[in-house]
Structure 1
């Protein structure tokens, strides 16, 4: 089985200079945990919901909130993203993707074309679902 068989193709992306406020709103509106950061369609980085939480003040959105706690919302996506993400292509095997996730201790793999353009994303949940389908099919 290859990544093309299990990847999510309709990926939500943000631009390098989009405000963190916008990034936060996307995570709140949708049920995904990773945003790909692009520049001209080329992958530049990844922002996970954990990256966002790590950068938010513990006082954000509490009665103790002060102006400095809101400052992160005015930063840009490139300031909180993980750079040089580990990627795969659509032709990568699911087995190789599993090995990458475990070896690199990451939770998603952006899928890129040979020219570096974003083609999709695959997460650890996608890989587990695929493995379960394989096991389940072989048991029947």
Structure 2
């Protein structure tokens, strides 16, 4: 079994200059936990819901909101993303994918082609879902 057998292929990516409010809305609307970040259609990073929680002030839209809280929304995806994410190819064996998840504290692996275009993504949830069938 290979990455292409379990990857999700309808991947939505965001541009490096996409603003965090738009990234957050896209994640919430689609119930995503990760979004690949691209520059000229090539993968340059990954942004997670945890990254957004860490960077966007929890006081936005509350009575305690301050101007500095709103400033956290002015950041771009490239300021919040993990750069040079670990990636796999479509023909990567499932054993290697499992090894990455065990060895490194990651929760998804983008699947790229030879030109570094995102063609899929595999999360730990995908592995569990596939293992239960």
Query: TM-score, length-normalised on structure 2?
Result: 0.95
Q: Mind listing any 5+ residue stretches in structure 1 that lack a counterpart?
A: 134-140
Q: Mind listing any 5+ residue stretches in structure 2 that lack a counterpart?
A: none
Q: Deviations over 1:78-136 (max 9, x none)?
A: 00000010000110111210110111110000000022111110000111122222xxx
Larger Rg: 1 or 2?
A: 1
Count residues with an aligned counterpart.
133
CA distance in 2, matches of 1:93, 1:104: 17
- Structure 1 SS opposite 2:25: helix
Query: TM-score, length-normalised on structure 1?
Result: 0.91
**Which residue of 2 is the match for residue 8 of structure 1?**
8
Q: Deviations over 1:8-32 (max 9, x none)?
A: 1111110011111110111121111
State whether residues 94 and 127 of structure 1, in contact with CA within 8 Å, keep that contact through their aligned partners in structure 2.
no
Shift of residue 66 of structure 1? 1.2
